[in-house]
Amino acid sequence: ADPAVLAEAAAHQDRLTKPRGSLGVLEEVAVRLAGSAGVSPPPMPVPAALAIFAADHGVYVRGVSPWPQEVTGQMVANFLAGGAVANAFAAQMGASVTVVDVGVAGDLPPGDGLLVRKVARGTADLSRGPAMTREQVVAALETGIAVAADLLAAGARCLVAGDMGIANTTASAALICAYCDADPEGATGRGTGIDDETHTHKIDIVREALAVNRSLCEAGPLDTLRAVGGLEHAAIAGFILKAAASRVPVILDGVIAGAAALAAAALAPAAVDHCVAGHRSAEPGHRLALDHLGLRPLVDLELRLGEGTGALLAHPLVCAAVRVMQDVATFDAAGVTDKEA
Amino acid sequence: ADPAVLAEAAAHQDRLTKPRGSLGVLEEVAVRLAGSAGVSPPPMPVPAALAIFAADHGVYVRGVSPWPQEVTGQMVANFLAGGAVANAFAAQMGASVTVVDVGVAGDLPPGDGLLVRKVARGTADLSRGPAMTREQVVAALETGIAVAADLLAAGARCLVAGDMGIANTTASAALICAYCDADPEGATGRGTGIDDETHTHKIDIVREALAVNRSLCEAGPLDTLRAVGGLEHAAIAGFILKAAASRVPVILDGVIAGAAALAAAALAPAAVDHCVAGHRSAEPGHRLALDHLGLRPLVDLELRLGEGTGALLAHPLVCAAVRVMQDVATFDAAGVTDKEA
């Protein structure tokens, strides 16, 4: 982010007809977006484009989710038919929806809005060894970069990162532990809803994954990602890196995007300047990830759905923050008396 | 709210293609709106209409605000010129803006979007006696009812209550203390930004107001409102009551609308079923008011601006919650396998 632009944006906030600081977190968001774009006021982050990266996880076989694995593909079909919550929220916010099969286990029927970019039919079981090969993690990263590039070329001025994949909160917890040096017990949640017994088992699986992949996780951020991540985590990390390189904001969804953002930040720390934390999910690891990234979430409503839903809810708030910078009158221009010093 | 409709709405939520409960607070919002409207799914709360009720406060003379009193009228002119944050947010959310002079001290030049409904040129000083006469409080309530009725007749399907008035957080704190039986120290905040000394003074003023008006506050909810409220509080209470009677949701803004909602709820408890808490402001009394009303705020970003800004931010979230009920496919219809029991 450009320090001169950050200072200019903060000074502009203080001239607007409102008590200074009275827009709370939204003032910081607008200033950060100015720094990201390199211009104050920043451009409106519209249109927004949601990309849902779908992939399966080898760790599914360890019994970490109560959902059948075929639900990943079934939900892709639901996205394409417009029947999922992400579709409803995207319609509400005026965002386009692109679904990317970066690693779904089953074959998906082609459909409008589906990009088949299958790097593998799901990852290997991260509790028994690396989830991905070096070639796979690079291919998935490049897929995310390419998807972002295409959406930007088509006119998107705000990217929204979503995910779909049964068992992906397990890989997210492992990534968060690895990147934040956190304990699996504090970082592993109940995903879409599991009982106490399965939760305990899931924590053990994350612990096993970290133990079996220890040397790889210590080798560097890309190896960490391939050791305990998912294909959609790698793709979302690439998506974030491309948004950052293009100085376009990317709104992060919940724990999957948060874990992917940790990977992106480990690879290129400045990428965080271009990220907005859309919401805080109910997953405990998400809080750890956001704290590590230094991001404050805009929406905090106990969502735990994924798909980009929490990020989409934040989009109008981000737009509102930018619109203030563009539209609101200054004390001088409006003839409003300023507060006594 | 209709219990059968509430049950039907909750059952419908559980059939949709998402893990049960995964939309967190938004599931409750959608169910409440169904109960409010008496139909599931509830209608989309669009278009939204913001009414900003502007008024001055006699307690201003006690030095509770660092802003000159003429800022109330200056900000009304700013609203009419489209230069305030409320205008920017309303434009973002597609809401109309109506400004109601229910008691500004100065004369306002007529303008498009301004309704001059001056009940008095500000209230009397509530720290020395009742802020309003019985006739005044009734006239202000009726003003709010009439404004809501006109907006509904013009097609609004969601009302948004905003406020403008220098010193109105002082009256709000007094109302919250009176309706919630709270102590002024815990209920009185820094409004738009005051130093420690003024804050301590403001707490004392609220304490004086409650003492001098004790018998009136004990006489009943309408007398409480006239004793320590503002003309905009009374108008917003009427606005809420009319929305409730019409089964149209009303999104509350911050501490001023929260205090007014306490008055509305004291007059007609069922009115709360039709209220959505748009946000939680930085004012400590607002938390007390929301807890008393049993409402959970949707946006919590340390806003302390008023004007309806926090409520406007919540509007797309409410729309998203309703759209889920209307648009999202069921497990059966989408061919998505449900979670194992």
Encode pLDDT of B121-167 as tens digits: 999 999 999 999 999 999 999 999 999 999 999 999 999 999 999 99
Of residues A138, A125, A121, A136, the one with CA closest to residue A212: A125
Query: Could you tell me the fold of the domain covering A3-42+325-334?
Result: 1.10.1610
The answer to whether the CB atoms of A74 and B299 lie below 8 A apart is no
pLDDT of the residue at B341: 53
The answer to whether the CB atoms of B324 and A88 lie below 8 A apart is yes
% of chain B exceeding 70 in pLDDT: 99
Query: May I ask the CATH architecture of the domain A48-316?
Result: 3-Layer(aba) Sandwich (3.40)
Q: In whole angstroms, what is the distance from residue B138 CA to residue B149 CA?
A: 16
Q: Which of B66, B67, B323 sits opposite A88 (nearest CB)?
A: B323
- A212: closest CA of chain B, how far (Å): 30
- A126: closest CA of chain B, how far (Å): 23
Q: What is the pLDDT of residues B291-318, one digit of tens each?
A: 999 999 999 999 999 999 999 999 999 9
Query: What's the pLDDT band for A1 if we cut at 50, 70, 90?
Result: confident
Q: Which residue of A has its CA nearest to B329?
A: A83
CA dihedral A31, A33, A34, A39 (to 10 degrees): -170
- B18: closest CA of chain A, how far (Å): 7
The stretches of chain A forming alpha helices (DSSP H) are 3-15, 25-37, 71-81, 85-93, 134-153, 168-180, 184-187, 196-212, 214-218, 221-228, 231-245, 255-267, 284-293, 309-327, 331-334
pLDDT of the residue at A232: 98
Mean pLDDT value across residues B212-235:
98
Is the pLDDT confidence value at A338 over 90?
no
pLDDT of the residue at A339: 77
For residue A312, list chain B residues with Cβ-Cβ distance below 8 A.
Answer: 320
% of chain A exceeding 70 in pLDDT: 99
pLDDT of the residue at A282: 87
Q: Among the listed ranges A93-102, A297-306, A331-340, which one has the minimum average pLDDT value? A: A331-340
Is the pLDDT confidence value at B110 over 90?
no
Is the pLDDT confidence value at A341 over 80?
no
Cβ–Cβ < 8 Å for A136, A230: no
Decide yes or no: CATH 3.40.50.10210 for domain B48-317.
yes
Q: Which residue of B has its CA nearest to A89?
A: B320
The answer to whether the CB atoms of B88 and A324 lie below 8 A apart is yes
For residue A32, list chain B residues with Cβ-Cβ distance below 8 A.
Answer: none
pLDDT of the residue at B193: 79
pLDDT of the residue at B257: 98
For residue B66, list chain A residues with Cβ-Cβ distance below 8 A.
Answer: 339-340
- A245: closest CA of chain B, how far (Å): 28
Of residues A274, A224, A229, the one with CA closest to residue A251: A274
pLDDT of the residue at B191: 82
Q: Among the listed ranges A151-165, A184-198, B177-191, which one has the minimum average pLDDT value? A: A184-198
Q: In whole angstroms, what is the distance from residue A320 CA to residue B144 CA?
A: 27
Catalytic residue among B208, B232, B283, B307: B307
The answer to whether the CB atoms of B192 and A334 lie below 8 A apart is no
Identical fold between B3-42+325-334 and B48-317: no
Q: Which residue of B has its CA nearest to A326?
A: B88
- Provide the token pair at A310: 């929490």
Mean pLDDT value across residues A230-240:
98
Interface probe for A, chosen from B23, B72, B281, B340 (most Cβ of A below 10 Å), is: B23
pLDDT of the residue at B109: 83
Mean pLDDT value across residues B12-32:
95
Mean pLDDT value across residues A179-186:
97
The answer to whether the CB atoms of B193 and A329 lie below 8 A apart is no
For residue A75, list chain B residues with Cβ-Cβ distance below 8 A.
Answer: 17, 336
Of residues B63, B200, B189, the one with CA closest to residue A340: B63
- A89: closest CA of chain B, how far (Å): 6
Q: Which residue of B has its CA nearest to A310?
A: B23
DSSP H or E stretch at residue B276? strand B275-277
- Provide the token pair at B329: 């496919």
Is the pLDDT confidence value at A163 over 60?
yes
For residue B329, list chain A residues with Cβ-Cβ distance below 8 A.
Answer: 78, 81, 83-84
pLDDT of the residue at A340: 63
Catalytic residue status for A307? yes
Give chain A's mean pLDDT: 96
The answer to whether the CB atoms of A23 and B323 lie below 8 A apart is no
Given the structure tokens 């599991």, which residue do they identify?
Answer: A194
Q: Which residue of A has its CA nearest to B319?
A: A92
Q: Domain map of chain A by residue range?
A: 3-42+325-334, 48-316
pLDDT of the residue at A77: 95
- Cis? peptide before A316, omega within 30° of 0: no
For residue B339, list chain A residues with Cβ-Cβ distance below 8 A.
Answer: 66-67, 192-193
Catalytic residue among A27, A208, A232, A307: A307
Q: Among the listed ranges A63-72, B39-48, B257-266, which one has the minimum average pLDDT value? A: A63-72
- B198: closest CA of chain A, how far (Å): 13
Q: Would you give the end-to-end CA distance of chain A in angstroms?
A: 31
pLDDT of the residue at A112: 86
Is the pLDDT confidence value at A115 over 60?
yes
For residue B18, list chain A residues with Cβ-Cβ distance below 8 A.
Answer: 84-85, 305
Interface probe for B, chosen from A79, A87, A89, A108 (most Cβ of B below 10 Å), is: A89
- A138: closest CA of chain B, how far (Å): 31
Mean pLDDT value across residues A278-295:
96
| Range with top average pLDDT, B185-194, B235-244, B327-336 | B235-244
Query: What's the pLDDT band for B289 if we cut at 50, 70, 90?
Result: very high
DSSP code, position A278? -
Q: In whole angstroms, what is the distance from residue B112 CA to residue A94 CA?
A: 30
Q: In whole angstroms, what is the distance from residue A239 CA to residue A52 CA?
A: 11
Interface probe for B, chosen from A60, A69, A163, A301 (most Cβ of B below 10 Å), is: A301
Helix (H, G, I), strand (E, B) or coil at B131: coil
- CB half-sphere exposure, A139, CA atoms < 13 A: 14
pLDDT of the residue at A191: 82
Give chain B's mean pLDDT: 96
For residue A93, list chain B residues with Cβ-Cβ distance below 8 A.
Answer: 316, 320
DSSP code, position A157? S
Give the strands of the sheet with A250-252, arranged side by side. Answer: A114-116, A96-103, A48-55, A158-164, A250-252, A275-277
Mean pLDDT value across residues A114-133:
98
The answer to whether the CB atoms of B84 and A299 lie below 8 A apart is no
Mean pLDDT value across residues B168-185:
97
